[in-house]
Amino acid sequence: MIRPAGRPLRRATALLLMVLVWETASRLGWVNPFYVPAPSAVASVLATLVAGGELWPHLQATLVAAFAGLAGGLLIGIALGFTAALVPLAAELLEPIMMLLNAIPRVILAPLFVIWLGIDLASKVALALILVVMAFALLLFAAAERLERRLLRWRQE
């Protein structure tokens, strides 16, 4: 696909304009700085946290939780998806559970995991894990079902 030459410049200009409006609204008092601090204040605090070394332990904890949830979610999601696709009985048992879990809004899961598992790393890993499991299990189940039907049609022709 060929991109128009001015697209990156237009996007950068729109982003700069948005930041300028945000900064102006903050400085003029149009927005509450407690809820929407000025971009300059955010940048200042970020620079202080990076320079003081306070950001890195929190960043590490976030990355550990995200990658642990991703790795576990991929393994479980792939296993569930392929099992449901290849074993009809497993599909009958797993599909209603997967649909029910998929219907739950993700925003609701975070506080529930904090209540059940505490504020530590476990709740964050569990949230990442369930998000990835549901996405991959449903995706692989649907893809394997369609693939199998296409192969069966091809064999019959």
Quote the CA–CA distance of 52 and 102 in Å, as a whole number.
41
Buried b (16+ CB within 10 A) or exposed e, 9-48: eeeeeeeeeeeeebeeebeeeeeeeeeebbeeeeeeeeee
Residue 102 — very low, low, confident or very high, per pLDDT cuts 50/70/90? confident
Residue 155 — very low, low, confident or very high, per pLDDT cuts 50/70/90? very low
pLDDT of residue 151: 63
